[in-house]
Amino acid sequence: MRKNRIISTLLAAVLGISVLATGCGSSQGGAKGGFKVGMVTDSGTIDDKSFNQGTWEGVKKAAEELKLESKYLKPGGKTEADYLKEMGNLYDAGFKFIVCPGYMFSAAIFKAQDKYTDAKFVFIDGVPNSGEKGAKDVVKDNTVSIFFAEQESGFVAGVATAVHLKEGDVGFIGGIEIPPVQKFNWGFQQGVNYANEKLGTKISMKAENVVYQGSFDNTAAGQQLAAQMFDRGVKAIFCAAGGVGAGAINEAKARVAAGKEVWIVGVDVDQYKDGVYEGEKSVILTSAMKKIDQASYDMIKAENEGKFPGGQILTFDAKNDGVGIPAKNPNLSEDATKKAEEALGKIKSGEIKVAGEQGSLLK
């Protein structure tokens, strides 16, 4: 199905953690670099503290460095037609390098790459497909698809969480039940299992504490789900849910302010600052990161250098430093940090292989 998949060794040379400013504007910069960069958000918001925001921050950084004009548009709905409309609006305005983050763009980009042959598309977390039964993935020369090994960063975050807590219940709140979100969940559970089996922890993850809310923007629902889990005695919740996760973070802040000890494991980017409740104190224990900011930045830079990897499917994983947890985790114990680093090293060496599908999970 992904016959053009390339695990790009080239990425290892350019990947790295970027410290970026929060992006909430709709456009910026001047078109001095020869092309204009557009982005269409997925169903969440541009300031979702997660997937959209991380992608946009990479776009902004590249635009600032290369003196390019950049702009994002938010679709009015979640259908193929909604996504195509905004891609068309960007194209008509001269934005012919278009970044689309999210699995749901598959059918829209499948059509757009043929309709706008002189445009370039960066598709994060998906591959173009017509959506028809039995249809094959088609990545044209003006499109690059980027995937992440979310299960690997989920695994490392699971190890870190288990070693820090030592015992007790943990939970998971996902947004829409799509492969990238599922892989975070499955990897996290495998990481907790590994810690239980190899590192002496006693962490459980009950079925009632693994929930997919069904959206990426229902903050109130996220807060309610987190409250229910915390009431059941869950000590830490891993949230891969965009704005839904933001609601869970809010609930954790309220609990900590009331004297409780609960934690959130962030996702996509380092969410430590989003969990700050007093001074520099945060409810974010650690974050399962995928360097989406670096991915969008790298593709824009590649286009500027005439090296756009059109027609390829790239994978950002542990081996090319495309996933992991933050270099600094102020709340993690020294032992948890050490064990997480060791686990990441074993994934890089191939000693640990993390399944990207549902496998040996907790009960």
Q: What is the pLDDT along the chain (363 residues), one digit of tens a residue?
A: 443 333 343 343 333 323 222 233 345 444 345 899 999 998 777 877 677 888 999 999 999 999 999 999 999 998 999 999 999 999 999 999 999 998 889 999 999 999 999 999 999 999 999 999 999 999 999 999 999 999 999 999 999 999 999 999 999 999 999 999 999 999 999 999 999 999 999 999 999 999 999 998 899 999 999 999 999 999 999 999 988 999 999 999 999 999 999 999 999 989 999 999 999 999 999 999 999 999 999 999 999 999 999 999 999 999 999 999 999 999 999 999 999 999 999 999 999 999 988 754 444
Phi and psi at residue 43, to the nearest 5° = -70, -10
Regarding whether 84 and 67 lie in a shared domain, the answer is yes
- 8 A C-beta contact, residue 94 and residue 27: no
Give the three-class secondary structure for 176: coil
Regarding whether 216 and 121 lie in a shared domain, the answer is no
Domain with 37 in it: 5-148+292-316
Give the three-class secondary structure for 124: strand
d(CA 297, CA 278): 33
Structural domains of the chain, count: 2
Regarding whether 166 and 137 lie in a shared domain, the answer is no
Give the three-class secondary structure for 100: strand
Q: Are strands 263-268 and 234-240 parallel, antiparallel or unpaired?
A: parallel
Write the CA distances from 130 to 10, 107, 134, 168, integer angstroms.
Answer: 30, 5, 10, 45
Task: Indicate whether 157 belongs to any domain.
Answer: yes
* Per-residue confidence (pLDDT) for residue 51, from 0 to 100: 79
Encoded amino acid at 32, one letter: K
Which residue, 285, 294, 288, is CA-closest to 261?
285
* Per-residue confidence (pLDDT) for residue 33, from 0 to 100: 54
Regarding whether 115 and 216 lie in a shared domain, the answer is no
Q: Are strands 284-290 and 120-124 parallel, antiparallel or unpaired?
A: unpaired
H or E segment at 182?
A: helix 179-198
Task: Indicate whether 358 belongs to any domain.
Answer: no
- 8 A C-beta contact, residue 295 and residue 146: yes
CA 48 centroid distance within chain: 11
Q: Where do we find the tokens 């541009």? A: 46
Regarding whether 183 and 204 lie in a shared domain, the answer is yes
Task: Indicate whether 177 belongs to any domain.
Answer: yes
Task: Indicate whether 360 belongs to any domain.
Answer: no
DSSP type of residue 322 = -
* Per-residue confidence (pLDDT) for residue 54, from 0 to 100: 87
* Per-residue confidence (pLDDT) for residue 49, from 0 to 100: 66
Regarding whether 216 and 281 lie in a shared domain, the answer is yes
Regarding whether 133 and 277 lie in a shared domain, the answer is no
| Reported pTM | 0.83
Q: Is 132 exposed, middle or buried (0-12, 13-18, 19+ CB in 10 A)?
A: exposed
Regarding whether 113 and 191 lie in a shared domain, the answer is no
Regarding whether 179 and 60 lie in a shared domain, the answer is no
Which residue, 173, 268, 284, is CA-closest to 218?
173
Task: Indicate whether 321 belongs to any domain.
Answer: no
Regarding whether 173 and 144 lie in a shared domain, the answer is no
Q: Where do we find the tokens 């757009």? A: 112
Q: Which two tokens stand for residue 277?
A: 């409740």
Helices (H) and strands (E) in the chain, counts: 10, 17
Q: Where do we find the tokens 């790459």? A: 113
Task: Indicate whether 32 belongs to any domain.
Answer: yes
Task: Indicate whether 325 belongs to any domain.
Answer: no
DSSP type of residue 319 = T
- 8 A C-beta contact, residue 122 and residue 58: no
Regarding whether 192 and 341 lie in a shared domain, the answer is yes
Looking at residue 268, which CATH number applies to its domain? 3.40.50.2300
H or E segment at 174?
A: strand 167-174
DSSP type of residue 78 = S
Task: Indicate whether 328 belongs to any domain.
Answer: no
Residues in the chain: 363
> First and final CA of the chain: distance in angstroms?
31
Regarding whether 244 and 177 lie in a shared domain, the answer is yes
